[in-house]
């Protein structure tokens, strides 16, 4: 990271403080705060649903699709997330996001509308899942506390990785906070600090870890873990293609020195992020 580049904390703090004294513009401010409230409310609901549903191995959820139709319904719930998530990162997807906000503000709000859609998808997946009713294994006694420690640690890693990548982008705050201040969204630079010093895809790896460290195992949890882990390993390939186009030689040097998803056992050459 360049010495002149602000730290993730300073960048986020500056963005948040700017919201407290936005320039005049009643309609713009109202739209910004409306999208902010909607975004963070759905985001919080999705995270709570994820943590809770997986804690119980997907055995406790609101879905009630009868019989074998439940298998199809659950499969569609799994597929809708990676397919739509990837689509919205494409040029066509960005155009679709433009329809989810007033035309004058859609560009600025793109990270917020993206986070809203992603949160709705996750909320649907974990809240509307139809449980099979089969429980293979449930941690008890000491094993319960050990597994819960791993589960909590995986979530803490995910939070840390999201922070290192840019919490304002991951949470959708960048869009509405920038609109409130009537400024162009400033995206974080290519992440190379924190967990990104160890592997190139810590967000996907941390999310995959949350899938496999649950205290209750069911056929539902296994199907979810296999499907989304496959996505977590494959999807970053497309992300890295975008990074290669955007950052060129900088990303090539980073890619050559930092592993993809598994930390290196030997000491790697020190990566220097110089333009």
CB 14 within 8 A of CB 166: no
Q: What is the rounded CA–CA span in Å between residue 159 and residue 167? A: 9
Determine which helix (DSSP H) or strand (DSSP E) holds 215, and give its type and residue range.
Answer: none
Position 268 pLDDT exceeds 60: no
pLDDT attached to residue 272: 54
Among 197-201, 220-224, 239-243, name the one with the lowest average pLDDT: 239-243
CB 146 within 8 A of CB 72: no
**DSSP-assigned letter for residue 57:** T
pTM for the full predicted model: 0.90
118 Cβ neighbours under 8 A, 6+ residues apart: 46, 85, 88
pLDDT attached to residue 110: 94
Position 85 pLDDT exceeds 90: no
pLDDT attached to residue 218: 98
Q: What is the rounded CA–CA span in Å between residue 218 and residue 261? A: 26
Q: What is the 3-state secondary structure (H, E, C) of 97-140?
A: HHCCCCCCCCCCCHHHHHHHHHHHHHHHHHHCCCCCCCCCEECC
Q: Which two tokens stand for residue 175?
A: 């869009």
Q: Which residues of 204-239 are buried (b: 16+ CB within 10 A; e: fewer)?
A: bbbbbbbbbbbbbbbbbbebbbebbbebbeebbeee
Question: What one-character-per-residue DSSP string does 152-202 give?
Answer: HHHHHHHHHHHHHHHHHHHTSHHHHHHHHTT----PPPPP-SGGGGT-S-H
User: Which three-class secondary structure state does DSSP give residue 26?
Assistant: helix
Give the model's confidence band at 265: pLDDT under 50 very low, under 70 low, under 90 confident, else very high. confident
Give the model's confidence band at 38: pLDDT under 50 very low, under 70 low, under 90 confident, else very high. very high
pLDDT attached to residue 238: 86
Q: What is the rounded CA–CA span in Å between residue 10 and residue 148? A: 32
What radius of gyration do the chain's Cα atoms show? Answer: 20
Position 72 pLDDT exceeds 90: yes
Q: What is the rounded CA–CA span in Å between residue 254 and residue 203? A: 17
């Amino acid at each position: 990271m360049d010495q002149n580049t602000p730290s993730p904390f300073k960048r986020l703090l500056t963005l948040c403080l700017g919201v407290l004294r936005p320039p005049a513009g009643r309609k713009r401010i109202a739209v910004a705060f409306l999208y902010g409230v909607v975004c963070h409310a759905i985001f919080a609901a999705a995270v709570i649903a994820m943590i809770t549903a997986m804690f119980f191995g997907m055995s406790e959820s609101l879905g009630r699709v009868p019989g074998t139709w439940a298998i199809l319904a659950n499969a569609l719930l799994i597929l809708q997330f990676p397919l739509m998530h990837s689509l919205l990162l494409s040029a066509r997807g960005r155009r679709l996001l433009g329809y989810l906000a007033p035309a004058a503000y859609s560009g600025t709000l793109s990270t917020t509308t993206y986070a809203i859609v992603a949160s709705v998808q996750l909320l649907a997946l974990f809240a509307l899942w139809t449980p099979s009713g089969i429980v293979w294994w449930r941690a008890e006694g000491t094993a319960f506390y050990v597994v819960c420690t791993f589960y909590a640690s995986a979530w803490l890693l995910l939070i840390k990785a999201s922070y290192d990548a840019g919490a304002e982008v991951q949470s959708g705050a960048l869009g509405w906070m920038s609109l409130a201040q009537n400024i162009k969204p400033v995206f974080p630079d290519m992440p190379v600090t924190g967990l990104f010093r160890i592997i190139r895809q810590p967000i996907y790896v941390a999310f995959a870890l949350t899938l496999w460290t649950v205290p209750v195992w069911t056929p539902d949890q296994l199907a979810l873990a296999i499907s989304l882990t496959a996505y977590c390993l494959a999807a970053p390939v497309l992300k890295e293609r975008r990074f290669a186009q955007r950052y060129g030689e900088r990303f090539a040097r980073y890619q050559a020195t930092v592993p993809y998803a598994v930390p290196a056992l030997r000491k790697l050459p020190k990566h220097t992020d110089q333009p």
